[in-house]
Structure 1
Amino acid sequence: MQLNRLTGAAALAVCLLGWIAPPALADETCNSPYLSNLIKGQEDFVYVWTLGVPGMGDGSDKLVTLDANPKSTTFGKVVAQVSVGGRGEAHHAGFTDDRRFLWAGGLDDSKIYVFDIHTDPGKPRLVNTIADFAKRSGLVGPHTFYALPGRMLIGALSNTKDGGGATGMALYNNKGEFIQKYDMPATKGGDGYGYDLAVNPARNAMLSSSFTGKKNYMTPLGTLIKDQGAMKQFGNTMVVWNLKAMQPEQVLSVPGAPLEIRWSLKEGDDWAITATALTSKLWLVKKDAKGQWQAKDVATIGDPAKTPLPVDISMRADGKGLWVNTFMDGTTRYFDLSNPEAPRQTYAKQTGAQVNMISQSWDGKRIYVSSSLLANWDKAGKDNEQFVKLFAWDGKALNEQWKVDFTQLKLGRPHHMKFGSRTGQQAAWTMEPPRVAGR
């Protein structure tokens, strides 16, 4: 298949029509369904995309590798770190579809770093730096890195024109070559804002969510929340896209900055869920009886009056439960999703003075929590805890297994986490025959 001769939506249509995601075997539950070489058991490593702090160590953003295998002599320890030579507000990262490379971006400098994680999974190498993302796309703040067959779709947060929330997505091939830009809809109810991306190949659907622009996310949180005008510049929509055509089909009203999107992976399910940062709600996205996608407020997270600030969510592989981290109160909550129309909080634990990202193993027995949100939004003083923690989950309580103190080790502010395996990333990528899990 001569994919590199095609561009834009045509290439995507060929890829997506001819290759439906293989059934997931194991791994994090939030990855693109197009990933191959999935981890089939215990993860060996956690890759942590980490913000540099002036005067701390080398001060650079870096990819830090933690040993996550309990049989290892270095379990819970740092085994590698790769600095990128500057600070660009390290934020999110994502694997290519063959799982051989990890792309990671900076929200401030808009640089993208590509790490080789298959040659030696325990010692990633920086092999490419894409420095012209903003120039080529007109977008700023590469946030979500979402693998498509032979491609990487990157959702951004802002733009080069005014640093506001109007933004879009950029499509690259796996070699790091820019292909095409897609604007977020700003008419017919769209506000033009962007944040996360999530694909359901079986429904030919992609969802995008919305946050805020660079002028806001680079402003100290204390200053931002006092600026009434700035606080009005947050996204209030989600967009349903025709995946093969890469065209927006429907704009959903979801007030309060909907962030991470998680599709249920349970066979037969066709719904997704998100959390709104500013209004502290869980929203269900599902088709109604007429076949139209609808967004519905289905649960409250903590006390919205206290602005707990939901930041990251992680859904169980069977779609029956959801973990939610709230930054301001440092709490990790579990919601029973047996009925996604009415989620119920059944457990909560303060896991830090501030917590942000949460990643769970496919079997749901291990929960990883990191602490940093944004350099200018993290807390100060004694509450400025910077860590990655591993918890064991027995269905009743979270029990801490280890903690890596990134401040003590002079590593910086840990943000996004992705799992690695000593054996799960060795095979070369191959095109699998078309198939749809559960059909």
Structure 2
Amino acid sequence: MRFDTFSRAFVPRTAVFAFVAIGAGVCPALVLADETCNSPYMSNLIKGQEDFLYVWTLGVPGMGDGFDKLVTLDVNPTSKGFGEVLAQVAVGGRGEAHHMGFTDDRRFLWAGGLDDSKIHVFDVSTNPAKPKLVKTITDFAPRAGLVGPHTFYALPGRMLIGALSNSKDNGGKTGMAVYSNKGDFISKYDMPTDQGGDGYGYDIAINPARNAMLTSSFTGRNNYMMDLGQLMKDKPAMQRFGTSMVIWNLKSMQPEKVLNVPGAPLEIRWSLKEGDDWAITTSALTSMLWLVKKDAKGEWQAKSVAQIGDPAKIPLPVDISITADGKGLWVNTFMDGTTRYFDLRNPEAPKQTYAKRTGSQVNMVSQSWDGKRAYVSSSLLAKWDKKGVDDEQFVKLFAWDGKELKETFTADFYQLKLGRAHHMKLGAAKPGTAMALAPK
């Protein structure tokens, strides 16, 4: 299957945003509130203030119903229920709830389990305040031979799913699968194991303007379902982490170059500034920021450009969120519970300019497009989260004025008997429809 029609029929989200802004006579920061990490093929973007925060939550035995669930929080400060839980939809089991992603039309939210490899599809369009579970896909492992659906990346009419493991040995060699928006399996693509490739996978990020797709790498099910303390003492297991990123030709879906990035490179963010052609990631085990950019000869290269905290203490950088103008980056480090801000105005030499301890442990960070709000959640993996009093489970909203993160509210997921708060997505009662320019 080829993706020529996808890249020709749609323009990058940055171009869409710029067009909407020009048409409205204001800058994009005043028009759109959507996250900066969504697929560039998404429509129905949020205009103005987001109303809801969807939180994909891990169930805890004996806590509430004990099941994984999608939790909806009211995050509109003008609402009487600001900061409160509006809805929760349990999926009837615990499968290591992890990441989720919208379909291109934003009508449905797909959420996966790293343990059971089930994919749950929620309708977030009919009643955005109260999502409804409409489908559970159970053939991911049988059809694709993949385990641990991690990244859900919208394509026109389809969902591209990056996996962490395989059904043969639960190791790190894995691939990606394509499904229709209706939930039908279409095709599979293996991560390369030649030309320096280790076959590992994690995140996916697409730059349509450069016909480039970039993937990163983590570890297999045998590792991520192991207790973190036990894992860190297991030397052979600690050798089974990804050391590569891959540049793919988007149209042909073929790998073009394997980049050496040791230390498990995780989340990938392309700069959203019009004309930029670089991406940034963090390596979890070596605590470094890596820049992926073309060199003077036009060849994609990856190089470490900044240190995150003290690598000797393994702060474990996890999620990142790039600003809409490509000038800044939020980085959460799990072990020390710190949210850091890096100045990216020179992506060749990022500089940390701010840090705040936002919890005893922190994982995901999601900021609004206007850069005024940042959401932080706590859980990494059920068996990797801290124990005892440090096992905090929350979602926090912070206001950002360019100088300080100021906490607006905290939803304590343990107190609410919801479980472990992981991935977050913004929602709106009436999202706007993005207007796209016809491609030349």
The answer to whether the superposition gives a TM-score over 0.5 is: yes
Give the alignment partner of residue 330 of structure 1, picking from 330, 333, 337: 337
Separation in 1, partners of 2:134, 2:429:
19
**Offset from partner CA, 1:5-44 (integer Å, 9 cap, x none):** xxx32xx222222333351353100000000010011110
Q: CA RMSD in A?
A: 1.2
Separation in 2, partners of 1:359, 1:17:
29
Give the alignment partner of residue 395 of structure 1, picking from 398, 402, 405: 402
Give the 5 Å matches for 1:73-112: 73-112=80-119
Give the alignment partner of residue 61 of structure 1, picking from 45, 59, 68: 68
What SS does structure 2 have at the residue aligned with 1:161? coil
Match of 1:207 in 2: 214
Letter in 1 for 2:260: S
Kept in 1: contact 2:191–2:199 (CA 8 A): yes
Letter in 1 for 2:11: I
Kept in 2: contact 1:21–1:435 (CA 8 A): no
Match of 1:410 in 2: 417
Q: Does 1:176 align with 2:183?
A: yes
Match of 2:7 in 1: 16
Q: Does 1:344 align with 2:351?
A: yes
Give the alignment partner of residue 136 of structure 2, picking from 123, 129, 132: 129
Separation in 2, partners of 1:114, 1:130:
8
Deviates more, 1:15-24 or 1:195-204: 15-24
Match of 1:266 in 2: 273
Give the 5 Å matches for 1:34-53: 34-53=41-60
Q: Does 1:369 align with 2:360?
A: no
Q: May I ask how many residue pairs the two structures share in their alignment? A: 424
Letter in 1 for 2:157: G
Match of 2:25 in 1: none
**Offset from partner CA, 1:149-207 (integer Å, 9 cap, x none):** 00100000000000000000000010000000000001110000000000000000000
Q: Does 1:235 align with 2:226?
A: no
Letter in 2 for 1:307: I
**Offset from partner CA, 1:335-360 (integer Å, 9 cap, x none):** 00010000000000000000000000
Separation in 1, partners of 2:320, 2:113:
21
Kept in 2: contact 1:92–1:144 (CA 8 A): yes
**Offset from partner CA, 1:231-282 (integer Å, 9 cap, x none):** 0000000000000100000000001000000000001111000000000000
Separation in 1, partners of 2:316, 2:235:
17
Separation in 2, partners of 1:289, 1:233:
34
Kept in 1: contact 2:8–2:439 (CA 8 A): no
Give the alignment partner of residue 185 of structure 1, picking from 187, 192, 202: 192
TM-score, normalised on structure 1?
A: 0.95
Kept in 1: contact 2:9–2:439 (CA 8 A): no
Give the alignment partner of residue 223 of structure 1, picking from 223, 230, 233: 230
Separation in 1, partners of 2:186, 2:397:
39
Give the alignment partner of residue 138 of structure 1, picking from 132, 145, 156: 145
Give the alignment partner of residue 298 of structure 1, picking from 294, 305, 322: 305
**Offset from partner CA, 1:35-61 (integer Å, 9 cap, x none):** 001001111000000000000000000
> Residue 433 of structure 1: CA displacement?
5.6
Match of 2:21 in 1: none
Match of 2:170 in 1: 163
Kept in 2: contact 1:16–1:149 (CA 8 A): no
Kept in 2: contact 1:280–1:308 (CA 8 A): yes
Match of 2:325 in 1: 318
What SS does structure 1 have at the residue aligned with 2:233? coil
Separation in 1, partners of 2:71, 2:4:
36
Letter in 1 for 2:156: P
Match of 1:4 in 2: none
Separation in 1, partners of 2:6, 2:206:
14
Structure 1 regions of 5+ residues with no counterpart? 1-7
Separation in 1, partners of 2:272, 2:438:
18
> Residue 391 of structure 1: CA displacement?
0.5
Separation in 1, partners of 2:238, 2:319:
20
Kept in 2: contact 1:316–1:322 (CA 8 A): yes
Separation in 1, partners of 2:9, 2:37:
23
